[in-house]
Structure 1
Amino acid sequence: MTRCFLFLLLTVRLATAEDGANAWLRYAPLPQANNNHSIPLSIVALGNSKSSPVYTAGQELQKGIKGIFGKKLSTNGTKDTSSSIVVGTIDAYKKAYGDFDEADELEEDGFFLSTEGRDVLILGQNQRGALYGTFAYLSRLAQNKLSPISYVSNPHAPIRWVNEWDNLDGSIERGYAGPSIFFRDGFVVDNVTRVAEYARLLASIRVNGIVINNVNANATLLNARNIEGLGRLADAMRPFGVQLGISLRFDSPQTFGGLNSYDPLDLKVDAWWANITNQIYKRVPDMAGYLVKANSEGQPGPLTYNRTLADGANMFAKAVKAHGGIVMFRAFVYDNHINPGNWTADRANAAVDFFQHLDGKFDDNVVVQIKYGPIDFQVREPPSPLFSTLRKTSTAIELQVTQEYLGQQSHLVYLAPLWKEIFEYDLRVDDRPSKVKDIISSARFNRPLGGSAAVVNVGTNMTWLGNHLAMSNLYAYGMMAWDPAVLPEDVLQDWIRLTFGFDRQVMNVITEMSMKSWPAYENYSGNLGIQTLTDILYTHFGPNPASQDNNGWGQWTRADSTSIGMDRTVKNGTGNAGQYPPAIAKTYENIESTPDNLLLWFHHVPYTQLLKSGKTVIQHFYDAHYEGAATAQSFVMLWQSLKGKIDSERYEHINFRQMYQAGHALVWRDAINEFYHNLSGIPDQAKRVRNHPYRIEAEKMALSGYKAYAVSPFHTASGYTAIVTTSNSTIGTATANITYASGTYDLAVNYYDLIGGRANYEVSINNRTIGTWTGDLEDQLGHAPSIYLDGHSATRITFKGVKVNTGDILKIVGRPDGIEPAPIDYVSFLPPGIVD
């Protein structure tokens, strides 16, 4: 009877769907054997205000322990005679109970956690620290880490912010999880419940600030109704110790305020910003400060008036200083109309060129926010040389949780290993140890401020980021901003336990998939430092290497028929290598000492250039793209091995995305290899490129109501051609005789899923329906969609275990909808274990 009950209980638990809203704060019950762990009988929260983080900590303890152990603790004003969990600030503890030995070890936001004595002590240097300690304690319990511990934990740096690129109309630039949780129809939302839930998640990973609106800011955020709305948002986040910040549009005094100028040295402009800042702080007295993007990508800024970037930043710094605020001033300043015909022009030089002469001229409450690499969140970049250039100016590193260039949450890419490489990179300033993590913490140059900011872009989707697995990146960001020394795999496995439980196979599979994901994506997108070969002129999602060159954006590859790569040497190229300290510059100046994974970042070489591996550049491209795509295929089988071990809702959600990634990785593989094969004329030694024996090209089938269509860019279609219906109201039919040997195959159809319609498809063999589907990925995936047949809209659906006889008739029927003309690229009949 007991065994039957336990089986039913397990079945119920596995069947219970989870939508991801609780993320890593599920507080799921521990395995029964550990559910009787001794915990104190009461909670003593040394803080009475319901808006205080200490009060929140007490509430969180109640919620967490009830979920994990099924026990409700009493809440007392004093310690229980048996045992209590005491949470509060050091000062409050001293006032209630006397001296505390570890008090001097705590820094701002730091906490002390001890479970070694009769009482559990969770004491913060401030209220926020007490809340962080509470989440740390509950995280240990939820992970079944029940052994006694006692330690002090201090943040690596004071600034640990997230940036949300939300627009006032409710859209999100580079957001892949639905509309904004902050704005709708031009104004701050009325219902802030979701905002409070997000602040709770951020507090649990020790993030202390959030900029809620797009760096491409809208000045109407500063109207009276929205300022009141900012106060409402701040009120919702304050109990979690998360301070609100906003992005500003530089020309607001003119476009919104009615002045005839936005010159930062104009006294009227200065007074206008001081006045609006006072209005905001009156409603949000603890506002963290401002984020400013100026004179970049067409945005207004001080350079318009021949003022310096420091002049612009300091204008805002003066306005917020009296209120204790800071200004994060983005170093992402460059001309997006540079001349590709100029061999020495280089967008990668822009940050140092604009900022190096301003070092020491920024006010002490200004922090220059620097993207981790010199270009723009690519799959691999060297650290920005600006980290080593600004010695008298506070700096913060800008990372990107939202996967703008890296699969847009439709591809699994665990980013912590990428960030770890950047944090640990030693720039050797003055030939002394100068790791990036120590530069941004101010430990290396002894500056007043520093830290991290990450572009996150959560949305109203219950998964927050549009993909359950993508949440590992948000969790890892918070943990690494607090302590960059942590290991990515350790952080990942903490997240897995908190998100999916304790099953060993679940742990092993998600660890394997995640740790392989960044190298796999690099392999099938862009490698050897060539950048992520996506379409930079459109959605930043699918492959389009041709888009990189011959435009003013400066993300060039300099690829031609014989050679490839940016020459960034001092001797022959743009001089970018020389922006680094001498020891690093020497490494990158010399092609022999430049690591292969950055070869094409710093050097222009022939396709036949030999790598340290012994392969040529072009053969490495071919091989890497096949290897990366094959790894993406393996993720499907790995994930599917977990069926029954994860609740059905999350299992199916992730399974769909892994199958999509597997198909889209093939689109990437074929497009990039085809492009460089066509450009260089050099064949693949393994004879894979352009050799697809399992494919039936759609344009070679017998067509009725369909017509051939030349796809652009050409390399995003097999054979450069697809088929579309002859009109948006004509049903198309494509048929072909099957010449493959009789047997069982996986039948894969590559097609294009455009936004603006939901075409319907049916595939059959001898009029026996094999499968039907709808072109509705815009409803299921959050990545930026496309209205074209291209590398963004190209996708695949696969039907497993299809029995086929030689001579059977394959038929596909496509019913167009809207602007989507039921496009098809090819059909593959794949023997077991074969991927074309």
Structure 2
Amino acid sequence: MFTPLRRWLLVLAAILLPAPALAEDGHDLWLRYRPLAAEGAAALPAAVERRGDTPTLRAAEAELIRAFAAMAGETQGRGARVVLAAAADPQVAALGLPLGDLGTEGYLIRQVRLGDAPATLVTGNSDIGVLHGAFALLRHLGSGGALAGVDLASAPRIGLRVLNHWDNLDGSVERGYSGESIWDWWTLPEYTGPRYTDYARANAALGINGTVLNNVNAKADSLTAPYIAKAAALAEVFRPYGIKVYLSARFSAPVELGGLDTADPLDPQVQAWWDAKAAEIYRAIPDFGGFLVKANSEGQPGPRDYDRSHADGANMLARAVAPHGGIVMWRAFVYADTDPDDRGKQAYTEFKPLDGQFADNVLVQVKNGAIDFQPREPFHPLFGAMPQTPLMLELQITKEYLGFNTHLAYLGTMWEEVLDADTMVRGAGSTVARVVDGSLEGHQLTGIAGVANIGADRNWSGSTFDQANWYAFGRLAWDHTLPAEAIAREWAALTFTPDPALTGPVVSMMMGSRQAVVDYMTPLGLAHLMGTGHHYGPAPWIADLARPEWNPAYYHKADRQGIGFDRTSTGSNAVAQYAAPLAARFADPATTPEADLLWFHHLPWDYRMQSGRPLWAELVHRYDRGIGNVAEMRRQWHALAPLVDAERHEQTAAFLAIQQRDAQWWRDASIAYWRSLNGLPMPGGAAAPPRDLDYYQSLSFPYAPGNTG
């Protein structure tokens, strides 16, 4: 509450203290609490009452006090008090509220009478549920909702909602585009600065409940005593916010750290080493979540080194953490030379036969598509193909293949697309979302992971709009039925202002942005055309690397006759990995969605498209459409200058200019290369590339960001 003395002190501080140099630098994310209009500020609660004294309830109380003070400004809130209390509180229990379906993390917010006075009650079956409710109330108010008549209830549809940090122990971040790692391993465990708490607040506001601290390309050092102590220090900060820590485990650690001659998962000494290591970790971190493992992929060690299966390796680790309540997330991203006819088939080939062989506390973590986080891929065929195994969806929040931090690409639409995709394995309605949330096969252990786009930059994600992807991941992880457009509108309101004059254009930009990237990078189902290693810019001509699937040319198969990867029965027959109705649909170009056409088919350049254009003309049209959409985003953003603070507006405007330049480069370089193969003239009205192919092939980017191992 603002007493006269406090108000006077605030005025005095405003006069005497210099204004912060970076008042709108993006650090506050969606927790950017700003004064409400006078009417809304007056309706804010007069007080916050906490019933119980736990770190989590104190965190919820502190968040509400912080937010209400900022939202009220100089206005005195006169609304009913907000009460934070778990369901076990006697007065809350006496209300008979419908809390049975909320689980341990869900919340209910309702206006009630407690004792003899009205109150806005924030409750749940646990303190964590109350915390989630506090953040939900602030989200409601910050996006334009009113306190009067508030009635909100929600529970997560997926159990484990985890960020995967690809952070290395030297401070670098693989595929990171927002500075160095936020984990300062050098000063941990002694120093845990406020940034770690801000990280926990931001994630708890979305319902994210786990974080994997280190890169899947793991170093064994992460499992040594000094680094366990560092992880324990972070766990201490995150615990009140309902966030568990996990570690990526290097499969060969028993050899590298334990001095064993082998890491064979069926060797009793190896099992004993992992049992002891798990016990050591749990002594330091009693609520440690478990292990994430990348094995037998891109040079990482794994069970196949010993002629064992992925199930053998996962189950060994699962046995080690099971007595402590831990789980194992075993990645299905296997990228080794074992299926040379089609890299896209490899995960299915290796994992489908293992269905039902994994321990009960193992999740198989599957990327959204079968290749590698491309701007557009059909959903991964493993979804629906392993009914006896819980599958954890892996999404990439950081934009490794979608323009890094300088291209505006809202990924909520991509993730909505994959979650809504129908696997057809049990008839219509067998969506990827129902596989992931366990409802299709009755799994209780469920999870979703996002490869984080978080770094040490003040704005966390490298750009303002990249924050939206972190936000969208968290919101969809909590409730995959939320529309991507509604999430975008909510984010825009919290990040800028709820004013429709801003949210309308911003949401319009966001909703079309990912398709624009697809159009100017990989239209019509093309994939993996990026420069090798750094994945920056077009390089469809690369064809001389040691292994076929390292080369962009492997993925488009373009020649004088046509373009596209034949995945039908006349090619790799990858279509057979899908349920029969989908396999039949994808096997015929006439029934394959045009968005995936060249993913499944090698077609002649004159193939007639739905627009009536030949394929070549349609391809050029899509490139030009993508550039046009970026130009329109620039126009829309320019018009919003009066509604956005100068710092964030100027950065986004500069990044959109970079995006338009890069989009033109993608278009021109790609067309120059395709013409070198097909010998065709430019379609009528389309401009030829301004440079020859040699120029585009000569470009080199040895210091592109995010390219670390």
Tell me, yes or no, whether TM beats 0.5: yes
| Corresponding residue of 1:544 | 539
**d(CA) in 2 for partners of 1:515, 1:362:** 39
Structure 1 SS opposite 2:458? coil
Residue deviations 1:660-710 (CA, integer Å, cap 9, x gap):
111111111111111111111111122534365xxxx8xxxxxxxxxxxxx
- Residue 10 of structure 2 is matched in structure 1 by none
Identity %: 35
Structure 1 pair 251–602 and aligned structure 2 pair: CA distance change class (3 A): same
**Mind listing any 5+ residue stretches in structure 2 that lack a counterpart?**
1-14
Aligned equivalents of 1:63 and 1:687: distance in 2? 58
How far apart are 1:164 and its partner, in Å?
Answer: 0.5
Distance in 2 (alpha carbons) for counterparts of 1:148 and 1:423: 33
CA contact (8 A) 1:673 1:689 kept: no
State the partner residue of 1:36.
Answer: 42
The question of whether the paired residues in 2 share the 8 Å contact of 1:68 and 1:141 is answered with no
Give the 3-state SS of the residue equivalent to 2:48 in structure 1.
strand
1:754 positional shift: 6.0
1:34-84 deviation line (CA, Å, top 9, x unaligned): 3211x33322223313xx32221111111111111137999xxxxx9x943
Aligned counterparts of 2:664 and 2:323: Cα–Cα separation in 1: 56
Q: What's the offset of the Cα at 1:502?
A: 2.9
- The question of 1:178 aligning with 2:179 is answered yes
Residue aligning to 2:4? none
Aligned pairs (5 A) from 1:196-235? 196-235=197-236
1:349 and 1:24 map into 2 onto residues whose CA distance is 39
2:51 to 24, 46, 49: 46
Give the whole-Å Cα distance in 2 for the aligned partners of 1:271 and 1:783: 37
> Deviation string for 1:578-625 (max 9, x for gaps)?
111111111111222111111111111111111222222211111111
Give 1:622's aligned residue.
Answer: 620
Deviates more, 1:634-643 or 1:307-316: 634-643
- What is the CA–CA distance in structure 1 between the aligned matches of 2:189 and 2:581, rounded to whole Å? 50
The number of residue pairs the alignment matches comes to 683
| Bigger shift: residues 622-631 or 18-27 | 622-631
Q: 1:433 to 1:143 in 2, by over 3 A?
A: closer
Is the 2:174–2:707 contact (alpha carbons within 8 Å) kept by the matching residues of 1? no
Q: Please tell me whether residue 89 in structure 1 is matched to residue 86 in structure 2.
A: yes
* Matched residue SS, 1:556: helix
Larger helix proportion, structure 1 or 2? 2
CA distance in structure 1 between the aligned counterparts of 2:185 and 2:321, rounded to whole angstroms: 27
Preserved contact between residue 524 and residue 629 of structure 1 (Cα < 8 Å): yes
1:600/1:391 Cα in 2 relative to 1: closer, same or farther (>3 Å)? Answer: same
Shift of 1:103: 2.5
SS in 2 for 1:545: coil
Assess, with a 3 A threshold, how the Cα gap between structure 1 residues 363 and 691 changes in structure 2: closer, same or farther.
closer
- One-letter code aligned to 1:373: G
- Looking at structure 1, the residues matched to 317 and 638 of structure 2 have their Cα atoms a distance apart, in angstroms, of 53
1:84-126 per-residue CA deviation (whole Å, 9 max, x = no partner) reads 31213212x2477635331323223111111366211111222
CA shift for structure 1 position 257: 1.6
Q: 1:533 to 1:188 in 2, by over 3 A?
A: farther
Partner SS for 2:31: coil
Q: 1:476 to 1:189 in 2, by over 3 A?
A: farther
**Amino acid aligned to 2:29:** A
Is the CA contact (8 Å cut-off) linking 1:170 and 1:185 kept in structure 2?
no
Counterpart AA for 1:58 = E
Cα 1:225–1:391 shift into 2, 3 Å:
same
Q: Deviations over 1:122-170 (max 9, x none)?
A: 1122222111111000111122200413232111111111100000000
Counterpart-to-counterpart distance in 2, 1:527 and 1:245: 37
Quote the residue 2:523 is aligned against.
527
Cα deviation 1:259-289 (Å, max 9, x = unaligned)? 1110011111111111111111111111111
Equivalent AA in structure 1 for residue 171 of structure 2 = G
Q: How far apart are residue 442 of structure 1 and its match?
A: 0.5
Which secondary structure state, in structure 2, belongs to the residue aligned with residue 397 of structure 1?
A: strand
Answer whether contact 1:167 1:173 (CA < 8 A) is retained. Answer: yes
Distance 1:625 1:715, change over 3 A: farther
CA distance 1:95–1:643, change in 2 (3 Å):
closer
Name the structure 2 match of 1:66: 69
Match for residue 248 of structure 1? 249
SS at match of 2:291: strand
Note if 1:716 corresponds to 2:700.
Answer: no
Hey, what does 1:265 align to over in structure 2?
Answer: 266
Aligned to 1:23: 29
Cα distance change of structure 1 residues 94 and 714 upon mapping to structure 2, 3 Å threshold: farther
1:461 aligns with 2:466: no
Residue 545 of structure 1 contacts residue 672 of structure 1 at CA under 8 Å; is this kept in 2? yes
Aligned residues of 2:682 and 2:688 also touching (Cα < 8 A): no
Aligned residue identity for 2:694: F
2:375 is matched with 379
Counterparts of 2:488 and 2:20, CA distance in 1: 22
Greater gyration radius: 1
Is 2:671–2:689's contact at 8 Å kept on the other side of the alignment? Answer: no
Q: Is the 8 A contact 2:188 2:233 kept in 1?
A: no
**Is 1:409 the equivalent of 2:405?**
yes
Give, as a single letter, the amino acid of the residue that structure 2 aligns with 1:45. Answer: R
Equivalent in 674, 677, 686 of residue 675 of structure 2:
677
Question: In the alignment, is residue 586 of structure 1 matched against residue 577 of structure 2?
Answer: no
Q: Which residues of structure 1 form unaligned runs of 5+?
A: 1-8, 75-79, 340-344, 698-710, 721-751, 757-777, 786-836
1:190, distance to aligned residue in structure 2 (A)? 3.5
Q: Deviations over 1:805-834 (max 9, x none)?
A: xxxxxxxxxxxxxxxxxxxxxxxxxxxxxx
CA distance in 2 between counterparts of 1:244 and 1:15 reads 34
Counterpart CA distance in 2 for 1:458 and 1:353 is 33
Match of 1:6 in 2: none
Structure 1 residues 414 and 619: alpha-carbon distance in aligned structure 2, compared to 1, 3 A threshold: same
Distance 1:620 1:715 in 2: 25
Contact kept, 8 Å, 2:41 with 2:76, in 1: the verdict is no
> For residues 153 and 610 of structure 2, what CA distance do their matches in structure 1 show?
45
SS of 1:101's equivalent in the other structure is coil
Aligned 1:93-132 pairs, distance under 5 A = 93-94=89-90, 98=94, 100-115=96-111, 118-132=118-132
Aligned to 2:632: 634
Q: Please tell me the residue identity of whatever aligns with 2:42.
A: N
Letter in structure 2 aligned against 1:40 = P
Say which SS state the counterpart of residue 195 (structure 1) adopts.
helix
Cα distance change, pair 337–389 in 1 and its aligned pair in 2 (3 A): closer
Cα deviation code 1:756-794 (max 9, x no counterpart)? 7xxxxxxxxxxxxxxxxxxxxx8xxx6669xxxxxxxxx
Contact 2:163/2:208 (<8 A) preserved = yes
Which residue in the other structure is 2:427 paired with? 431
Distance, in Å, in 2 between the alignment partners of 1:628 and 1:102 is: 48
After TM superposition, list the pairs within 5 Å mapping 1:291-306 onto structure 2.
291-306=292-307
Deviation at 1:389, TM superposition (A): 0.7
| 1:359 equivalent in alignment to 2:340 | no
Which residue in 2 is equivalent to 1:565?
Answer: 564
Equivalent position SS for 2:408: coil
TM-score normalised by the chain length of structure 2:
0.92
Query: SS state of the match for residue 609, structure 2?
Result: coil
Give 1:548 deviation, angstroms. Answer: 6.7
AA paired with 1:61?
L
Q: Structure 1 residues 193 and 16, CA, compared in 2 at 3 Å: closer, same or farther?
A: closer
- Kindly provide the amino acid, as one letter, of the partner of residue 144 in structure 1: G
Which residue is 1:278 aligned to?
279
Whole-Å separation in 2 of the counterparts to 1:608 and 1:242: 54
Which whole-Å deviations, capped at 9, do the CAs of 1:701-759 have from their partners, x for residues lacking one? xxxxxxxxxx9x73527xx7xxxxxxxxxxxxxxxxxxxxxxxxxxxxxxx89677xxx
Partner residue, 1:741: none
Relative to structure 1, is the Cα distance of residues 196 and 221 closer, same or farther in structure 2, using a 3 angstrom cutoff? same
TM-score for the superposition, normalised by structure 1: 0.78
Greater shift, 208-217 or 644-653, is seen at 644-653
Higher relative contact order (CA 8 A, sep 6+): 2
**Any residues of structure 2 matched to 1:801-816 within 5 Å, and which?**
none
